[in-house]
Structure 1
């Protein structure tokens, strides 16, 4: 290390040793001796910088750390070195790198309180957002010429038509799984033919609409949040307000109407495909002809199961679209917020759909449609 940073630990003759630093102590040269200086076993009384040819902030920081670690005095520094040493010394911070961690019995209640507060704020914000939508809807009723029909048709295509393949595939596989597992369990009681009842009722009443809502939340709800959030971030929403266009009328209402209108159709489509999947398994595993399976579904499934599924579908569509648009309008600050709000929109929409489905199940059972 002829041209690099060097050091030498001189014996003090019964006293504490002297550490002599020499060469350039720069960020580009100090790496070779930094590890050795950190593991220095001796305990020098002084640190001599008279042999240091050049020094920068990093070199001064190393020298100050050495002096503090060994309780040594720095000598032989030139004027430049002294200025750097003073600057580094006064800029030092003895605070802990990590804050002290409070006991769990303090942290858990505090975090629970924060979550409850955030939930309350979110509920109030959602109610206020719904109020804005109602006001915008009333304004459109008074001025129907402002209604954006092309935007509605475009959103209906994105929410409904474009999602048919994935919803159809998912529903077909769900019908196969329900029929196969149901047949295996019912075979223990010699009641394989009741698989038709199981597939027909559970798909038309519950799983068809519920799984469709979850798929729409993951596909369209996230798209709503990401699209509107990006527009908020690029100030397009503010620009719309500036030129006199209501973001509620132009962005939110077409998306909500598209989800509300398309969900019953998608739910019915998903239920039909799931029944077809069950009929395929019935033909292959149970020996029930395909057409017989479909005809039997019409006989064993009450018509009110169909009505229950249709009644839940637009409500689920409203929840999914409302959550996605609301979270998109909450984006502000930076691009990370788009991802966070999109994730939040999907999670909240799925959670609320499942909770509402449970309430619907109890309600329809109480009125005799169980």
Structure 2
């Protein structure tokens, strides 16, 4: 049964006339009281909104108009009501709005902590559900490889791999220049400029090449995963897939994750090479080391396990970035603002996880003797 808006008029202890609005002040329920409110004239001193269960822009305008026409004060308004009333006020409103009583500091802290805890619990539940569905889809594709959408996989590899080559190459080249130039300046104080080759080679192959690639990959491809899947959820394309018997995890998520896992080590290796080339380029001018001599020296001073360390990190970083983007994309609901919000969250989560994992790998490989 539909609930309608209503009001009562009482006299307060101080002799003021108070009109108390009750029920939902929304466009579908205020029509019954609009005419009665217009007929009140100036016999109201305060408009009490504490009994309003729901309010929209139309209800806020009605409450503000009543207060404005009767020179009354609005009291008992919720934060939502205050925002809506402020939005509908004229440039020079004469009605004065008194905000509701604010919560004490301990109540706000406890309420905020409780909200974060509940959000965290729901987030863990959703993540477990997503990972479970992903594991089921992976097992199904292993048992039935023909169900894999190879066209979609190769298309994603082209988008996240081939399309990223120019920007990653340029970025890595410049990073190599910075490493070699700054390293040479510091090592020159000890007469050890020749070790700039060691510094540039090991940092590029082991750490910065794959790490900076993963960060760029998160900003470029991880965000696109979240935005694409999120937009498809808003336009109900994901629901349409389920309706016709197509699993969204297999059709949308798996190709993107596999593409990221395959492409990331290749992009990381390419980025490392470009960083070394950048270091060799700047060394010709700052250290008087010939270009090809620098490259030949790299082969002599950089151990092979540095290359394997970088290649090992690649698939792991690619998996993390793709999971963050696809997971946040699948969580989009409500309105288009969610797409931007979830895209931002996906990029932040991916970069944070990549940096934490890189620190873990640095300690781990040092402990196993690959330091």
Q: Does the TM-score normalized on the shorter chain lie above 0.5? A: yes
- The answer for the alignment partner of 1:94 in structure 2 is 75
Paired residue secondary structure (1:190): coil
Deviation (angstroms), 1:337:
0.6
Deviation (angstroms), 1:143:
2.3
- The answer for the alignment partner of 2:215 in structure 1 is 214
Structure 1 spans left out of the alignment, 5+ residues: 1-55, 69-83
Paired residue secondary structure (1:333): coil
Using a 3 Å threshold, how does the CA distance of structure 1 residues 86 and 128 change in structure 2: closer, same or farther? closer
- The answer for the alignment partner of 1:305 in structure 2 is 306
Paired residue secondary structure (2:332): coil
Measure the CA separation in 2 of the matches of 1:57 and 1:250.
58
| 1:134-213 alignment runs, 5 A limit | 134-213=135-214
- The answer for the alignment partner of 1:360 in structure 2 is 361
Contact 2:265-2:315 within 8 A present in 1 as well = yes
- The answer for the alignment partner of 2:285 in structure 1 is 284
- The answer for the alignment partner of 1:115 in structure 2 is 116
Q: Which has the larger radius of gyration?
A: 1
Contact 1:140-1:146 within 8 A present in 2 as well = yes
Measure the CA separation in 1 of the matches of 2:161 and 2:228.
17
Contact 1:221-1:323 within 8 A present in 2 as well = yes
Measure the CA separation in 1 of the matches of 2:326 and 2:228.
9
Deviation (angstroms), 1:298:
0.9
Deviation (angstroms), 1:130:
1.6
Contact 1:221-1:345 within 8 A present in 2 as well = yes
**Alignment deviations for residues 218-244 of structure 1 (CA, whole Å, 9 cap, x no partner):** 000000000000000011001011111
Measure the CA separation in 2 of the matches of 1:102 and 1:169.
53
Contact 1:64-1:88 within 8 A present in 2 as well = no
**Alignment deviations for residues 104-159 of structure 1 (CA, whole Å, 9 cap, x no partner):** 55544653454354344333422321221111111122222221100000000001
| 1:1-370 alignment runs, 5 A limit | 93-95=74-76, 97=82, 98-104=99-105, 106-108=107-109, 110-370=111-371
Structure 2 spans left out of the alignment, 5+ residues: 1-34, 47-64, 83-98
Using a 3 Å threshold, how does the CA distance of structure 1 residues 282 and 251 change in structure 2: closer, same or farther? same
TM-score (norm 1): 0.74
